Structure 1
Amino acid sequence: MPAEHRLKEGAILKSEAQSFDLADERVWLVGDLHGNARWIQTLFPAMRRLDPTIRTILQLGDYGFDHDGRGTHAVDFWARKTGIERVLVTLGNHEAWDRIAPAQARAPGRAIRVSEVVWLLPRPFRMTIADRKVLSLGGASSVDKAIRTPGKDWFEEELITQAMETRAILGGRADLLLTHEAPVNAAPEVRAIIASNPDGYPPDALAISAAQRQRVQRVSNAVKPVLHFHGHMHTYGTAELGDGRRVVSLDRDTRVRNAGVLDLVTLTFEPLRGDHRGQ
């Protein structure tokens, strides 16, 4: 459904989508990008070398590019060069929420396209890819908000709310769960970071973050995905939960396991490796 809404500072909401029903049997999963255009010009060609047939990227938040600026222009440019037709963003905490939230309010429950290929997904959002049911639930807590400025680089809208959690659960089972925030039952690498708190974040910030992970876990327990992918923790790791579920944490930009290929027929995942980048 076309739209001509305008975001703050002139960004154009180019179109909307109630859902997606894609035939793609293989897609890319990509973790935090943090607006890193140089990483895009490394990552997208590396992905094409591994599999030039893939057309869809599922990005797991902290996308971080200005949605009307040079960053998204870089994504569009390298998408054209490498055959990517769509980047579907499960939003994170470090996003331009001052622009995104008003745009989403004007298109409630709909994905909004903000560039040639980039779509920002609402919370929650359901779609179908290769007949697999996919649930996206963006958002997370910024444990570093004490060093950020409210309304400038930190926004209350980042948080997953009770209403979002409830709507996600009411939608029923999903084969694939996409979040930015980690669940409680996360990979050992993620749990080690949480337990050690290497950057010394304050107790109040850690408590909010823990509550967000509990929300994600309740959603996961209810919808019972075979695979649950998340970003946010800046590490790669996997966990088998013993009930047929698997959790995968993707690393951040500049690190090779920032991305990988998901086969939706077999529900198997292959992370990108250094040799895939031609190193």
Structure 2
Amino acid sequence: MKVLETAAVINLPDRRVAVCGDWHGQSGWARLVLRGLSRIAPDVSTVIHAGDWSMNLSKSDEICAAFGIERVLVVPGNHDYPALSNVLNAHPGVAVRESRSTWLLPRPFRIGVGGRTVLALSGATSVDRYWRLPKEWSSDETIRDEDVAAAISGGPADIMVTHESPSDTPVRAVRHILRTNPLGFPRESIVESAASRVRVRQVWDAVNPKLAFHGHMHAPGGGTTPDGRRLISLGCNGQEGNVAIVDLRDLSVEVPSLRELRAHEAETEK
């Protein structure tokens, strides 16, 4: 994998950004989302991606260029790590640009955007890892105690973007999945996943962001803690709630529906 540049600091002037959930390498879905976004929010030029990105770089660059996206800041998900571990381990603690538009963020990493601080905490436990071949899984996906300590040491953040959900989530759709285990993942996976979510919760509580996003669960929805912190679980490719538009001025969030995204797609094809 070619490294074009690295950055210890990223500060952006954007007033609005998009935060997207899992795309799983689906370029058709990325095109649908970014085409719709270009019509709904033409001022948005930065996407923060909450992981399980896995895109073909030349294709993603082409799609981003077509629809006015200057950069995608990827918070790697568990399924990204087998392919990305080598480059991230070779450049610890810094963001890595691997294509015209794609940046990979280490764990943890803080972004300055629109006068706000965004904490990125990548990784998650692969609940299906016992069903995978060794080369399809990497231990680098695991959020470790030292990652938690490093994330907390940076102090408060306005926004937090993770791949993994925190434990004791206020998002009803996520609680339902965790309670029912609809895909029948083995007990070992469930225990490891719970420990991973506890670590995310430790960071979430300590840095106290008013707004947080995660992917991974494929369970779009939102919730608010008793102390007023908002948490948004992003849908994956093909689902509602895959993209959210954040106004950095007041931290308001707009989540366009699939119908809105596809309507804008249809308009451009007339």
TM-score normalised per structure 1 = 0.91
Query: 1:7 — aligned with what?
Result: none
Query: 2:132 — aligned with what?
Result: 148
Work out which of the residue numbers 243, 250, 255 in structure 1 matches 2:227. Answer: 243
Distance (Å, rounded) in 2 between the aligned partners of 1:239 and 1:98: 32
Distance (Å, rounded) in 2 between the aligned partners of 1:90 and 1:98: 14
Work out which of the residue numbers 167, 176, 180 in structure 2 matches 1:184. Answer: 167
Work out which of the residue numbers 14, 34, 54 in structure 2 matches 1:44. Answer: 34
Work out which of the residue numbers 59, 70, 74 in structure 1 matches 2:59. Answer: 74
Extract structure 1 runs of 4+ deviating beyond 6 A: none
Work out which of the residue numbers 237, 240, 262 in structure 2 matches 1:277. Answer: 262
Q: Secondary structure at the match of 2:241?
A: helix
Are 1:121 and 2:105 matched, yes or no?
A: yes
Deviation at 1:55, TM superposition (A): 0.5
Query: 2:190 — aligned with what?
Result: 206
Give the letter for the 2:188 counterpart. D
Deviation at 1:44, TM superposition (A): 1.1
Are 1:57 and 2:47 matched, yes or no?
A: yes
Distance (Å, rounded) in 1 between the aligned partners of 2:28 and 2:202: 37
**Equivalences, count:** 262
Distance (Å, rounded) in 1 between the aligned partners of 2:194 and 2:49: 23
Distance (Å, rounded) in 1 between the aligned partners of 2:29 and 2:5: 27
Does the 8 Å CA contact 2:36/2:260 hold for their aligned counterparts? no
Does the 8 Å CA contact 1:40/1:74 hold for their aligned counterparts? no
Are 1:32 and 2:17 matched, yes or no?
A: no
Distance (Å, rounded) in 1 between the aligned partners of 2:92 and 2:10: 16
Are 1:173 and 2:163 matched, yes or no?
A: no
Query: 2:13 — aligned with what?
Result: 23
Change (3 A) 1:46 1:256: farther
Deviation at 1:99, TM superposition (A): 4.2
Give the letter for the 1:204 counterpart. E
Q: Which runs of 5+ in 1 are unaligned?
A: 1-10, 66-70
Deviation at 1:101, TM superposition (A): 2.0
CA RMSD of aligned residues (A): 1.1
CA offset digits 1:57-83 (Å, max 9, x no partner): 000001122xxxxx2212100110111
Work out which of the residue numbers 164, 180, 184 in structure 1 matches 2:147. Answer: 164
Deviation at 1:98, TM superposition (A): 4.0
Q: Secondary structure at the match of 1:189?
A: helix
Query: 2:181 — aligned with what?
Result: 197
Distance (Å, rounded) in 2 between the aligned partners of 1:219 and 1:58: 19
Are 1:221 and 2:205 matched, yes or no?
A: yes
Give the letter for the 1:240 counterpart. T
Query: 1:94 — aligned with what?
Result: 79
Distance (Å, rounded) in 1 between the aligned partners of 2:87 and 2:30: 25
Q: Secondary structure at the match of 2:136?
A: coil
Does the 8 Å CA contact 2:13/2:113 hold for their aligned counterparts? yes
Does the 8 Å CA contact 1:29/1:58 hold for their aligned counterparts? yes
Q: Which runs of 5+ in 2 are unaligned?
A: none
Deviation at 1:140, TM superposition (A): 0.2
Give the letter for the 2:21 counterpart. G
